[in-house]
Amino acid sequence: MKRTVLITGSSRGIGRATAKKFAIEGYNVIINYYKSKDKAYSLLEEVLSFGANAIVVQGDVSDRKQVEEMFKKSYEKFGNIDVLVNNAGIADMTLFTDVTKEQWQRMFDVNVNGMFNCCQCVLPKMISEKSGRIINIASIWGLVGASCEVHYSATKGAIISFTKALAKELGPSNILVNAIAPGAVDTDMIGGVSEEIREVLKEETPLGVIAKPEEIADVVYLLSTEETKLITGQVINPSGGFVIV
Q: Tell me the closest approach of the beta carbon of residue 213 to ligand NAP, in angstroms.
A: 6
| Residue 150 one-letter amino acid | V
- The answer to whether 132 contacts ligand NAP (rule: CB under 6 A) is no
Q: Which stretches within the chain are classed as H helix?
A: 13-24, 37-49, 64-78, 101-108, 114-129, 141-144, 150-170, 195-203, 213-222
DSSP 212: -
Helix ranges (H only) for 26-146 are 37-49, 64-78, 101-108, 114-129, 141-144
Query: Residue 134 Cβ, how far from ligand NAP at the closest point, in Å?
Result: 14
Determine the angle formed by the axes of helices 150-170 and 114-129, rounding to 10 degrees. Answer: 10
- Of these residues, 27, 33, 34, 152, which one is catalytic? 152
Among the listed residues 82, 77, 168, 156, the one whose alpha carbon sits nearest the alpha carbon of residue 125: 82
When asked if residue 163 is in the footprint of ligand NAP (CB under 6 A), the reply is no
Among 7, 13, 163, 223, binds ligand NAP (CB under 6 A): 13
Measured from the CB atom, the residue of 134 and 185 that comes closer to ligand NAP is 185
Using the rule CB under 6 A, which residue among 24, 99, 148, 190 binds ligand NAP? 190
Q: Which is nearer to ligand NAP, 94 or 173 (CB)?
A: 94
Q: How far is the CB of 231 from ligand NAP (least distance, A)?
A: 19
Counting Cα atoms < 13 Å in the Cβ hemisphere of 115 gives: 27
For ligand NAP, the closer CB: 132 or 183 = 183
Q: Active site includes 152?
A: yes
Question: Contact with ligand NAP (CB under 6 A): which of 21, 60, 149, 167?
Answer: 60
Residues 6+ apart with CB under 8 A from 139: 152, 153, 156, 181, 182
Instruction: List the one residue from 11, 74, 113, 232 that touches ligand NAP (CB under 6 A).
Output: 11
- Give the catalytic positions in this structure: 152
Residues binding ligand NAP (CB under 6 A): 8-9, 11-15, 32-36, 60-62, 87-91, 110, 137, 139, 182, 184-185, 187-190
